[in-house]
Structure 1
Amino acid sequence: MRHRYSILFLPLHVLFDFLCLNASFISAYWLHFKEIDGALQPPHLILWYVFNFVWAILVILLKPYTFPRQLFKIRHLIPKLGLLTTLHIAVISLYLVFFQESFYSREHLLITYILFFILGSAYRVGGLLFLREFRARGYNNRRFIVVGYGNLSKTITRFYEIHPEMGFRFAGYFDHISDGNRDIITGNYEQLPDFIRRNRIDCVYCCLPHIDNTRLHNIVEDAEIADYQVKLLVDFRGFLAKGASVEYHDILPVLNLSSQMLADFRVNTLKRAFDITFSLGVIFMGFPAFLLVGLITRLTSRGPVLYAQERIGRGGVPFRIYKFRSMYVDAEAGGPSLSQGLGDSRITPWGRFMRRTRLDELPQFFNVLKGDMSVVGPRPERQYFIDQIVEIAPEYKNLLKVKPGITSIGQIKFGYAGNVQEMVKRLRYDVLYPERRSFWFDAWIILQTVRVMMQGRGR
């Protein structure tokens, strides 16, 4: 009979948990009241029945004892026990409150749960150690074969060789037989169904791309008749390290090989919500400051209050960025040119103060509301300078994966760049952002920016 011992694991697991629960209840009663008879008499007898009934309901609803062999480990078993115990405590607490059962000892209940968690953890650890040794000695094993021979198929066999405690035993490779694999392959595709039945194979690993869809479909259909598992192996290791994710189009699974962090819906949604909330707060609360800065800008030099310029945003899409004008009119009449720092003769005296305190960036909160920018992100540049930067530092293209921001690590650590070489130096700070962005990292950058503004240290 195949796996004659496996069918015992579930009932034994359930039985041991009930034994631990009841032993803990009675032992806790003895530790607290120094006698046992009262634990089996009303009203504690009723609570004892409720304890067992609630645990049985949780077991039926949550099915906590269903673990594949690969997950049958301490780091999965103990947390699951902790979750069940917590839920049991919650239900029993509701029962006591609802029926106003105030005469039960809270100390007795506390000791019961502590003892139960200790006993439950101990038998799980002991049982797992016994089972590993039991399987390592050759008992309670699963036999598996690999269809489609290649590097990936050798990887799965090596995995089970170094983990004998999982109880998987290799029975052979199946593929088209050729001169190169004749000494390795156990059989071809035509011999596969008969081999599975004669050797009572439990699991068939199918390796892509070494097996075509037609043969894979035939194996899956045969599995329903011969009662064995089929598992598909695809080598995603190089992609998973970059954050690949699975999307479902109705019932069709699609593997997204783009960076999960940059495409993650939850991250982008939370960041956008923060951008809108923060920007509205700055605009409404700082509206008097907007008017004051605009008025001083208008009175201290000839020209418009706001300055608009085309910059490149996420995905290379151009947009118009807004600032309070800090330079004299026609400062770039001779062509695109970067600021040469606060000593640049094109910058007005009031403009120097705005740049040191970053006040000239305030109108960009309207860019954030429009969705062109974020509060935190690498500073956007003009295409003219991007082309020059990419020739020196191609990694700049990574910054175009995220929205540009009002403030960034580069703005804090380096400040305004006076030439392409300084832009490249600032880049070494900003390239950190796409891989590290989070709410707390954004909050830290904003706080550092406020500190720079208050100290007037902006370059």
Structure 2
Amino acid sequence: MKHRFSFLLRPFSATMDIIALDICFALAFRLKFGTTESLFDVPYVTLFWFINAAWLLVLLLNKPYNFSRLTFTIQNLLVGLAKLIGLHVALVSVFWVFTQGGFYYSREQLALTYVLFLCAGSLWRSVVLILLKVYRAMGYNTRRFVVVGYGPLSRSIQTFYQMYPEIGFKFYGYFDKMNPDNASALRGDYTYLKEYITRNEIDCVYCCLPYIETEQLREIMDFSEEASYQVKLIVDFKGFLTKGVTVEYHDIQPVISLSTHYLDDLQVNVFKRAFDIVFSATVLLTGAPFFLIIALITKLSSKGPAFYSQERIGKWGRPFHIYKFRSMYPDAERSGPALSSGDNDNRITPWGQFMRKTRLDEFPQFYNVLKGDMSVVGPRPERQYFINQIVEKSPEYKYLLMVKPGITSIGQIKFGYAENVEQMVQRLWYDLEYLQRVSFSTDVWLIVQTVRVMMQGRGK
């Protein structure tokens, strides 16, 4: 069965709401009158059946459970519930007026019903959402997808679903014209695509418009009706890096409106900076004794200073000096700039290896945050020497320079330290995702994930 049990989610949700509404109605009756013996006597039995019928009518008119996997969030679920309750209250109010319900029904009992129902509806939605996301993250109830057109943009889609396994999308390969440069990365070419979609019951086909021709796209869309899969188009908007893409209609012609001022809003310029100052100051003040111990161990464990400073490139290409606890022996780069090769790098001290695994070497960068050179969360800053090499392979890196670099990032959590320029390019695609998701909740989530990596000693 291609779509497994996802089709049951809507009837399940409707049933849960009806059950919750009836239970809350009865519980409110009990709390108001101290008994439920007369609940199904006239006139309350009439009100009981009407609120059920009104709820079903609201569901039929609004289809409130039609969420895609990307919009299946607790915020959308709770906002949707509040809207449903608002419409239901309006219908019941009309019923109340026409039946002169003020003479028969208790306003307190009805108000209490809605309060209880809001709590109950929010609770079961939250529980189901969490359980379903955990279930999908474990590899169940997944949707299968392929990407047609191979390139940096198409790789970003695979990266996105790797970062968010709770959405439940499983990658089944790339398809494009075969050539010596991409043959090893592709599942096959266009001649093999239809057979592969049918045999593997693919649910979704992402088509990258920069890499696919119009005729091929038309064939994929025509075949979607026969094979029953979704077609989604990927357009390269990274060059615009805007949070406010809107669609305007000039008669029937859609026109995409783009802002050229990326992240130029109150949330980023004020709230994010305020959070950076408060959080970094708190860490530096409360952790000062602990940092002194780390500095002392660093100093005593090998020759050289406790701290290490190096020039990095920040927002808009401005250089600044980043601070760390020293994890390498002095003069580690006397032969020129070089990236660490991880556990096999003999330039790293034994204590430095531990600090890198637990990310303790990064703590002095909170001073950089206070100065305004960095943010707590943002793409990792690099040296100009390596930036020049990265841009040659992936020009998209220059967009990371439009925001402040950070102590931690999606790339740092999901990928870790890069051992060469190729790995730096791979990490780039994780950090580009952050640019489209800058928010307080995302920053908090990344900080929590960083703490988890530190506690587990999984820093790479």
TM-score range normalised by the length of the shorter chain: 0.5 to 0.7
Q: Which residue of 2 aligns with 1:123?
A: 124
Report the residue type matching 2:51 in the other structure.
F
Report the residue type matching 1:81 in the other structure.
L
- What is the aligned residue count? 261
The 3-state SS of whatever aligns with 2:223 is helix
Measure, in 2, the Cα distance between the counterparts of 1:248 and 1:222: 29
Q: 2:242–2:260: 8 Å Cα contact kept in structure 1?
A: no
Q: 1:74–1:125: 8 Å Cα contact kept in structure 2?
A: yes
How far off its partner does 1:6 sit? 1.1
Q: Which residue of 1 aligns with 2:165?
A: 164
Q: 1:29–1:39: 8 Å Cα contact kept in structure 2?
A: yes
Measure, in 2, the Cα distance between the counterparts of 1:134 and 1:73: 15
Q: Which residue of 2 aligns with 1:68?
A: 68
The 3-state SS of whatever aligns with 2:201 is coil
Aligned pair in 2 of structure 1 residues 252, 225: CA closer, same or farther (>3 Å)? farther
**1:180-217 deviations in whole A, cap 9, x for unaligned?**
11111111011110110011100000001100111101
Q: Which residue of 2 aligns with 1:84?
A: 84
Determine which structure has greater relative contact order: mean sequence separation of CA pairs < 8 Å that are 6+ residues apart, divided by chain length: 2
How far off its partner does 1:244 sit? 4.2
Q: Which residue of 2 aligns with 1:11?
A: 11
Aligned pair in 2 of structure 1 residues 11, 258: CA closer, same or farther (>3 Å)? closer
Q: 2:210–2:236: 8 Å Cα contact kept in structure 1?
A: no
What is the TM-score when the length of structure 1 is the normalising length? 0.55
Measure, in 2, the Cα distance between the counterparts of 1:39 and 1:238: 63
How far off its partner does 1:99 sit? 2.0
How far off its partner does 1:106 sit? 0.7
**1:93-148 deviations in whole A, cap 9, x for unaligned?**
12112221112111101110011010000000000011011111221110000000
Measure, in 1, the Cα distance between the counterparts of 2:243 and 2:16: 43
How far off its partner does 1:23 sit? 0.3
Q: 2:247–2:256: 8 Å Cα contact kept in structure 1?
A: yes
Question: Percent same amino acid among aligned pairs?
Answer: 46
**1:327-365 deviations in whole A, cap 9, x for unaligned?**
xxxxxxxxxxxxxxxxxxxxxxxxxxxxxxxxxxxxxxx
Q: 1:242–1:259: 8 Å Cα contact kept in structure 2?
A: no
Q: Which residue of 2 aligns with 1:42?
A: 42
Query: Does residue 202 of the first structure (1) align with residue 203 of the second (2)?
Result: yes
Report the residue type matching 1:219 in the other structure.
I
Aligned 1:148-159 pairs, distance under 5 A: 148-159=149-160
Query: Does residue 107 of the first structure (1) align with residue 100 of the second (2)?
Result: no
**1:60-99 deviations in whole A, cap 9, x for unaligned?**
0011010001000001000100111111112211211222
Q: Which has the larger radius of gyration?
A: 1
Aligned pair in 2 of structure 1 residues 190, 251: CA closer, same or farther (>3 Å)? farther
Q: Which residue of 2 aligns with 1:232?
A: 233
Q: Which residue of 1 aligns with 2:94?
A: 94
Report the residue type matching 1:70 in the other structure.
L
Report the residue type matching 1:189 in the other structure.
Y
**1:220-248 deviations in whole A, cap 9, x for unaligned?**
00001110000000011332517443233
**1:415-447 deviations in whole A, cap 9, x for unaligned?**
xxxxxxxxxxxxxxxxxxxxxxxxxxxxxxxxx
**1:277-311 deviations in whole A, cap 9, x for unaligned?**
xxxxxxxxxxxxxxxxxxxxxxxxxxxxxxxxxxx
Q: 2:242–2:258: 8 Å Cα contact kept in structure 1?
A: no
Measure, in 2, the Cα distance between the counterparts of 1:172 and 1:80: 35
Q: Which residue of 1 aligns with 2:178?
A: 177
Report the residue type matching 1:233 in the other structure.
I
**1:32-61 deviations in whole A, cap 9, x for unaligned?**
111111111110000001100110100000
Q: 1:143–1:201: 8 Å Cα contact kept in structure 2?
A: yes
Report the residue type matching 1:96 in the other structure.
W
Q: Which residue of 2 aligns with 1:193?
A: 194
Q: Which residue of 2 aligns with 1:23?
A: 23
The 3-state SS of whatever aligns with 1:183 is coil
Query: Does residue 220 of the first structure (1) align with residue 184 of the second (2)?
Result: no
How far off its partner does 1:253 sit? 2.6
The 3-state SS of whatever aligns with 2:112 is helix
Q: 1:173–1:186: 8 Å Cα contact kept in structure 2?
A: yes
Q: Which residue of 2 aligns with 1:58?
A: 58
Unaligned runs of 5+ in 1: 262-459
Q: 1:243–1:259: 8 Å Cα contact kept in structure 2?
A: no
Measure, in 2, the Cα distance between the counterparts of 1:122 and 1:167: 23
The 3-state SS of whatever aligns with 1:138 is coil
Q: Which residue of 2 aligns with 1:413?
A: none
Report the residue type matching 1:232 in the other structure.
L
Report the residue type matching 2:142 in the other structure.
N
Aligned pair in 2 of structure 1 residues 36, 244: CA closer, same or farther (>3 Å)? closer
Q: 1:245–1:260: 8 Å Cα contact kept in structure 2?
A: no
How far off its partner does 1:259 sit? 5.8
Report the residue type matching 1:30 in the other structure.
R
**1:257-282 deviations in whole A, cap 9, x for unaligned?**
46699xxxxxxxxxxxxxxxxxxxxx
Measure, in 1, the Cα distance between the counterparts of 2:54 and 2:261: 41
Q: 2:149–2:212: 8 Å Cα contact kept in structure 1?
A: yes
The 3-state SS of whatever aligns with 2:67 is coil
